[in-house]
Amino acid sequence: MQTYLDCIPCLLTQALKAARAVTDDEDTHRRVLNAVAGMVPQLSLGLSPPEITQYGYRLIYQITGSSDPFHQAKVEANRAVLALYPHLKEVIAGAEDPLLTACKLAIAGNSIDLATNFGQMDIGDIIETALVSPLAVNGYQRFLSSISSARRILYLGDNAGEIVFDRLLIEEMRRVRELDIDFVVRERPIINDATRDDAVAVGMDRVARIVSNGSDAPATILSQCSPEMLGLFYAADVIIAKGQGNYESLDAEPANIFFFLRAKCPIVAGLLGVNVGDAVLKQ
């Protein structure tokens, strides 16, 4: 997906939020905004939004001196959702279709995103809404058919906290069928995207093999991925791509990808033919 002019104000909002997470110094905030705004004319709108965000965050790191502005927020998100894990296991086990419920909860978890206003939503409200709302794009039957004949699953993670919901879905998939599952994280911190430390903190290593993609982009930019990650990508029978960033970077790829996300901005919602906030499971 290309970058649209509407993405630029969002980038500046993210930059200010990251700067404020590091320091209360308004001079630093202004320097960050000036640097990111000055970067914009030099970048092609043919780049995907995550690529432009990646460039912006590199400037933020240089100016603020912090390479992980949202570290504490990620720790707190992991702890908060992990505390709900036993209850969520019961919800899934008691559902009429446990795998569908796990899918809907995994998509609901995509609401935990500091790059958008969705990150401010109450976790309890997120869960309740997910359980009673239909999928706006419902590729569940195709997903079910795909994993029923699959052996190798590549699961592209997204945000800290959200990855607890991903663990629940992986556990349910493995209950239904024996699967070889690799869970992919970012090589280095960016926004609140999950790294290996986050994945280990929520017990992901108990249910899947954790793999770094070799990049610090807030998405899966194949040209930046490690040889190991690329090998897994092209060998997978099914790829689960969590979040809007992965949709923005992989929507044109021909692989057997299932996108699990909530549409968080009007541009992406329009491309998907849904409303902002809708839950999407799209092949």
- Is 90 exceeded by the pLDDT of residue 127? no
pLDDT higher at 115 or 16: 16
Which of 162, 174, 157 is closest to 239 using CA atoms?
Answer: 157
- The answer, yes or no, to whether residue 35 has pLDDT greater than 50, is yes
Percent of the chain with pLDDT over 70: 97
pLDDT the model gives residue 121 = 58
Band (224; pLDDT cuts 50, 70, 90): very high
**Tell me, what's the pLDDT at 122?**
72
Specify whether the CB–CB gap between 163 and 191 falls below 8 A.
Answer: no
Task: Give the pTM.
Answer: 0.94
pLDDT, tens digit, for every residue of 190-210? 999 999 999 999 999 999 999
Q: What is the mean pLDDT of residues 30-52?
A: 95
**Residue/partner pairs of 55-60 with CB below 8 Å, 24 or more apart:** 56/11, 56/14, 56/15, 57/18, 57/190, 57/191, 57/216, 57/218, 59/15, 59/32, 59/35, 60/15, 60/18, 60/19, 60/32, 60/35, 60/36
| Res 41: pLDDT | 93
* pLDDT tens-digit map of 67-110: 999 999 999 999 999 999 999 999 999 999 999 999 999 999 99
* Reported confidence tier of residue 29, pLDDT bands at 50, 70, 90: very high
Q: Report how far Cα 25 is from the mean position of its chain's Cα atoms.
A: 30
* Rounded Cα gap, residues 129 and 244, in angstroms: 19
For residue 138, list its beta bridge partners.
281
pLDDT tens digits along 237-273: 999 999 999 999 999 999 999 999 999 999 999 999 9
Region for residue 147 given its phi and psi (left: phi exceeds 0; alpha: psi -120 to 50; beta: otherwise) = alpha
Could you tell me the pLDDT band of residue 115, with boundaries at 50, 70 and 90?
Answer: low
Bridge pairing between strands 137-138 and 279-282: parallel
Architecture of domain 71-282: 3-Layer(aba) Sandwich (3.40)
Bigger pLDDT: 130 vs 13: 13
pLDDT at 50 over 70: yes
Note the pLDDT tens digit of each residue in 52-75.
Answer: 999 999 999 999 999 999 999 999
Pair 244, 217: CB distance under 8 Å: no
The rounded mean pLDDT for the chain is 94
Residue 118 has pLDDT above 50, yes or no: no
For the cut 80, the answer to whether the pLDDT of residue 120 exceeds it is no
Distances (CA, A) of 67 to 11, 58, 61, 107, 182: 17, 8, 5, 28, 26
What are the tokens at 238? 């099914």
Q: What are the structural domain ranges in the chain? A: 7-64, 71-282
